[in-house]
Amino acid sequence: MIYKALTIAGSDSGGGAGIQADLKTFSAFNVHGMSAITSVTAQNTLDIRAIFYLPSPMVKKQIECIIEDIGVDSAKTGMLGNEKIIKAVASTISKAFKKKEFPVVVDPVMVAKSGVYLLQESAVDAFIKHIIPLAYIITPNKYEAEKLTGIKIKGKEDVKKCAKEIKKLGAHAVIIKGGHIGENATDILFHKGKFTEYEGRRLRGCTHGTGCSFSAAITANLAKGYNIEESIKIAKKFISTAIKYGVKIGHGHCPVNPISWIAIEAEKWKVYEELKMAVNKLLNDNIIDLIPEVGMNFAYALPYPYAKEMKDVASVEGRIVRAGEKARGGEIKFGSSRHLAKAILKAMEHNREMRAVMNIRYDKNILKKAKEIFSISFYNRQQEPAKIKKQEGATIPWGIEQAIKRVGKVPDIIYHEGDIGKEPMILILGKNPEDVLKKLTKLKI
């Protein structure tokens, strides 16, 4: 079964919102995305420079073509722009509406984050009259809810009042988004006479395109057959992820990352497979002498921008240890190493490409060889400031930072000579586990 969702919206040349965000979001939910473009905007992360509205018959034709041949499981409207387009869209989808062919999510896009009006003032009445009654669910933000009702939103009670008023305009369900309301970004749904709150921690991240991606996520999940409440629950989780892993580009409001929803899972699998293969190779090799007292480990982080915390780094659970004449290692698990995870996350702050690291026993001869063929640096644990020493888990990031600063880049090798009760250690860093293994082979004496 292939689910198909249609977006009727404007193009954002910067790729952060509008049609572009909608199609990425549909893909993230494994839904086939289709589009009827209403307008073309010339915009980037800073502002919208120009808007060109497509002739309304062309908008109409796009929708008709899609319905006639491919079929639609759910649709959303975004930027509609002017009265002519509003009427064309309404007349086209009202036929489907009457036959209950597919649900329509209406995102009443009126003003952009940069303050530019995306719905002509003269078109607001037409929007209320022709589009809102077709909405299975409408998704206004604070300003749109205020504009549609004339009520000023100061708190939750005002939000609820607004939702009831908007429902009276003919929408089946209303969700007022909390992106611009209150301490938490809580969205409030009014459906079948009942309010449901979708709480979310307010995140600091990229927020260009939140509204479009959120309504597209609801649309995609409706297409798959989830009900309104379930679709919103999923969409809320999705948008938080997309904000957290936003794409840091441009000089203004950076866009959300809809693809993060699937990319993280896909990358996790790749990391797991690559590391597992490398660890198997390593264990089959004669490495007993390379294992330090505290055990050896091999860690591999998710790529940028997905590597943020320990849980984003895979390693060998329980470390690689000596078992008689052989080396033995546990399962590959995310979040199972503290030390190496911290080391590689710190290294990635300086060079995103360096994602893998292994620790081996400190050995003067190995270091001598390393100095001949690799870039190498160190840190001195005896110079660790008292403040860092006291702070749980701060030593490694501090040390790695020192070592990187010393040579002005992330080197192949970082070592330290220990401290009282601390075993000296050598770290081998690389782009991936295979890269680290190659370096290790070159170091073997």
Query: Closer to Mg ion at the Cβ: 211 or 258?
Result: 211
**Among residues 159, 212, 278, 440, the one that binds ligand ATP under rule CB under 6 A:** 212
211 is catalytic: yes
Q: How far is the CB of 143 from ligand ATP (least distance, A)?
A: 7
Under the binding rule (CB under 6 A), the answer on residue 22 touching ligand ATP is: no
Under the binding rule (CB under 6 A), the answer on residue 141 touching ligand ATP is: yes
Query: Closer to ligand ATP at the Cβ: 39 or 210?
Result: 210
Query: Closer to Mg ion at the Cβ: 256 or 271?
Result: 256
- Determine the interface stretch with ligand ATP among 206-214, 307-315, 377-385, 400-408 (rule: CB under 6 A): 206-214
Which candidate in 179, 212, 342, 439 is catalytic?
Answer: 212
Query: Closer to Mg ion at the Cβ: 211 or 246?
Result: 211
Q: How far is the CB of 141 from ligand ATP (least distance, A)?
A: 3
Q: How far is the CB of 52 from ligand ATP (least distance, A)?
A: 20
SS (H, E, C) the chain: CCCEEEEEEEEECCCCCHHHHHHHHHHHCCCEEEEEEEEEEEECCCCEEEEEECCHHHHHHHHHHHHHHCCCCEEEECCCCCHHHHHHHHHHHHHHHHCCCCCEEECCCCECCCCCECCCHHHHHHHHHHHHHHCCEECCCHHHHHHHHCCCCCCHHHHHHHHHHHHHCCCCEEEECCCCCCCCCCEEEEECCEEEEECCCCCCCCCECHHHHHHHHHHHHHHCCCCHHHHHHHHHHHHHHHHHCCCCCCCCCCECCCCHHHHHHHHHHHHHHHHHHHHHHHHCCCCHHHCCCCCECEEEECCCCCCCCHHHEEEECCCEEEECCEEEECCEEECCCCHHHHHHHHHHHHCCCCCEEEEEECCHHHHHHHHHHCCEEEECHHHCCHHHHHCCCCHHHHHHHHHHHHHCCCCCEEEECCECCECCEEEEEECCHHHHHHHHHHHCC
Under the binding rule (CB under 6 A), the answer on residue 239 touching ligand ATP is: yes
Which candidate in 25, 92, 210, 395 is catalytic?
Answer: 210
Q: How far is the CB of 18 from ligand ATP (least distance, A)?
A: 9
Under the binding rule (CB under 6 A), the answer on residue 433 touching ligand ATP is: no
Under the binding rule (CB under 5 A), the answer on residue 16 touching Mg ion is: no
**Per-residue contact flags (x/-) with Mg ion for residues 204 to 233, judged by CB under 5 A:** -------x----------------------
Range 240-259, binding ligand ATP (CB under 6 A): 240, 243
- Determine the interface stretch with ligand ATP among 39-47, 94-102, 207-215, 313-321 (rule: CB under 6 A): 207-215
| Residue 295 near which of ligand ATP, Mg ion, none (CB within 5-8 Å, type-dependent) | none
| Residue 207 near which of ligand ATP, Mg ion, none (CB within 5-8 Å, type-dependent) | ligand ATP
User: Interface with ligand ATP by CB under 6 A: which residues?
Assistant: 17, 113, 141, 177-180, 185, 187, 200, 202-203, 207, 209-212, 214, 236, 239-240, 243
